[in-house]
């Protein structure tokens, strides 16, 4: 049993020049340097950070999240000079991606240096590194003056946090502080790309799209393992765990629009008859079709089917909102696997844990 600690809630403005924000970032940086764990906003989701060079500090991340220790963490750097501290052999292709997308939601898998804490890489010879595109995150890393290892700041298995309130609900009493910088932007995690193989291999789709990477590298592949519950041994250890799941059972229905809606209605009626509280993960376009129906307890709009980036932005908050409403059975349509749709579908498929119907 972990002892409860007091979690400081520190409000910060994106304008880090602001005096009060600065004081709070100084405070959080001091905690990082003292080997404590601090949640902070990034442009993707909230991260749970600790000194990436200290096994003792990084151990507290795994403990707070309940994360399996064979699932490595991403190292966040605040300036380019920190890259050489954690990674070796940056290839020309890796440098091209850095030039094109950093700071931003792209994590490069590179050969690790011995300075990186063993717990960060889960014993692998490689390390995942990125420079986040968020003024608070960058200022925190700069002030801490060490690279910060940070997974998403949720309890392992839960939807990732896109607000400080999500972090508080999962981790209050378990971590030293939460820097509250408001809602995050992209809404899903960074893209993870393995640069130690040729062609480069996308291990996890995320905030930088396959299309964008292809336009820079010319050639890039996608790991078939992330296209759902592949039984094969996953290359990115994080891929084998159930993730992002709401407490209710999520079902995805794909196919032609009218057939999908019929199937969704059938599933909802069935669930309602068995006494469950039901919900629909809808879009701006489909929400009105479901609201007011006696067999649906909650219709939550999540972005728009014509704007996949908006679906990504709202996705985790929507999954968490079903929990707040005690919804036990959720159905969702699927989205095209292009641009941000690839990351959205990857997260939805994991949250649905294989409950996917094609009609
Ligand atoms: P999270 O920080 O919770 O978003 O998860 C980080 C993701 O990056 C997980 O899917 C990890 O498995 C993956 N990752 C981190 N480091 C490595 C690495 N060295 N090799 C492969 N995947 C990695
Ligand atoms: Mg995570």
Residue 28: give its domain's CATH number. Answer: 3.90.870.10
Q: What pLDDT score does 242 carry?
A: 60
Listed residue (189, 159, 157, 139) closest to 38, CA to CA: 139
Listed residue (163, 137, 140, 142) closest to 27, CA to CA: 140
Examine residue 29 and state whether it is found in any structural domain, yes or no.
yes
Q: What pLDDT score does 300 carry?
A: 98
Examine residue 45 and state whether it is found in any structural domain, yes or no.
yes
Q: What pLDDT score does 118 carry?
A: 97
Secondary structure class of 281 (helix, strand, coil)? strand
| Sole residue written with tokens 């993960």 | 281
Distance, in Å, from the CA atom of 136 to the CA atom of 212, rounded to the nearest integer, reads: 26
- The HSE-up count of residue 260 (CA atoms within 13 Å, CB side) is 18
**Ligand 1 atom 23, closest CA:** 236
Are 259 and 213 found together in one domain? no
Tokens of 272: 């309602």
| Reported pTM | 0.94
Are 46 and 195 found together in one domain? yes
Are 32 and 131 found together in one domain? yes
Query: How many structural domains comprise the chain?
Result: 2
The secondary element (H helix, E strand) that includes residue 100 is: helix 92-101
User: Domain containing 313 — which CATH number?
Assistant: 3.40.50.11030
Q: Is 86 in the pocket of ligand 1 (CB under 6 A)?
A: no
Examine residue 231 and state whether it is found in any structural domain, yes or no.
no
Q: What pLDDT score does 16 carry?
A: 84
Cα–ligand 1 centroid distance for 233 (angstroms): 15
**Ligand 1 atom 3, closest CA:** 151
Distance, in Å, from the CA atom of 78 to the CA atom of 148, rounded to the nearest integer, reads: 9
Q: Is 124 in the pocket of ligand 1 (CB under 6 A)?
A: yes
Are 199 and 259 found together in one domain? no
Q: How many residues does the chain have?
A: 359
Domain residue limits at 22: 8-222
- The secondary structure of 186-224 as a DSSP string is S-S--EEEE-SSSS-EEEE--SS-HHHHHHHHS--EE-G
Q: What is the pLDDT along the chain (359 residues), one digit of tens a residue?
A: 457 899 999 999 888 877 777 899 999 999 999 999 999 999 999 999 999 999 999 999 999 999 998 999 999 999 999 999 999 999 999 999 999 999 999 999 999 999 999 999 999 999 999 999 999 999 999 999 999 999 999 999 899 999 999 999 999 999 999 999 999 999 999 999 999 999 999 999 999 999 999 999 999 999 987 765 433 344 555 554 567 889 999 999 999 999 999 999 999 999 999 999 999 999 999 999 999 999 999 999 999 999 999 999 999 999 999 999 999 999 999 999 999 999 999 999 999 988 999 99
CA separation, residue 98 to residues 251, 343, 348 (Å): 37, 20, 28
Tokens of 27: 């405070």
């Amino acid at each position: 049993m972990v002892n409860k600690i007091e979690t400081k809630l520190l409000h910060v403005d994106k304008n880090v020049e602001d005096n009060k924000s600065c004081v709070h970032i100084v405070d959080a940086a001091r905690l990082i340097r003292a080997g404590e764990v601090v949640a902070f906003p990034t442009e993707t989701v909230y991260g749970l950070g600790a000194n990436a060079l200290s096994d003792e500090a990084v151990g507290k991340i795994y403990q707070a999240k309940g994360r399996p220790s064979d699932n490595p963490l991403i190292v966040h750097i605040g300036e380019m000079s920190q890259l050489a501290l954690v990674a070796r052999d940056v290839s020309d292709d890796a440098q091209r991606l850095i030039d094109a997308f950093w700071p931003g939601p792209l994590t490069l898998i590179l050969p690790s240096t011995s300075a990186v804490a063993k717990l960060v890489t889960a014993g692998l010879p490689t390390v995942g590194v990125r420079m986040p595109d968020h003024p608070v995150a960058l200022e925190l890393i700069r002030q801490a003056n060490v690279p910060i290892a940070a997974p998403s700041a949720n309890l392992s298995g839960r939807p990732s946090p896109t607000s400080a309130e999500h972090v508080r609900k999962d981790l209050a009493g378990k971590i030293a502080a939460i820097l509250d910088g408001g809602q995050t932007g992209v809404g899903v995690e960074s893209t993870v790309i393995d640069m130690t193989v040729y062609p480069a291999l996308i291990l996890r789709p995320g905030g930088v799209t396959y299309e964008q990477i292809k336009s820079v590298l010319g050639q890039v592949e996608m790991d078939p393992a992330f296209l759902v519950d592949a039984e094969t041994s996953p290359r990115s250890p994080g891929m084998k765990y159930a993730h992002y799941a709401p407490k209710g059972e999520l079902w995805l229905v794909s196919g032609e629009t009218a057939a999908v809606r019929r199937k969704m209605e059938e599933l909802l009626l069935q669930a309602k008859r068995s006494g469950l509280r039901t919900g629909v993960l809808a879009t701006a376009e489909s929400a009105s079709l479901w609201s007011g129906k006696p067999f649906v307890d909650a219709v939550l709009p999540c972005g728009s089917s014509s704007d996949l980036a908006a679906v990504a932005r709202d996705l985790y908050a929507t999954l968490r909102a079903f929990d707040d409403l005690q919804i036990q059975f959720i159905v969702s349509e699927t989205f095209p696997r292009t641009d941000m749709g690839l990351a959205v579908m990857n997260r939805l498929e994991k949250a649905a844990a294989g409950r996917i119907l094609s009609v």
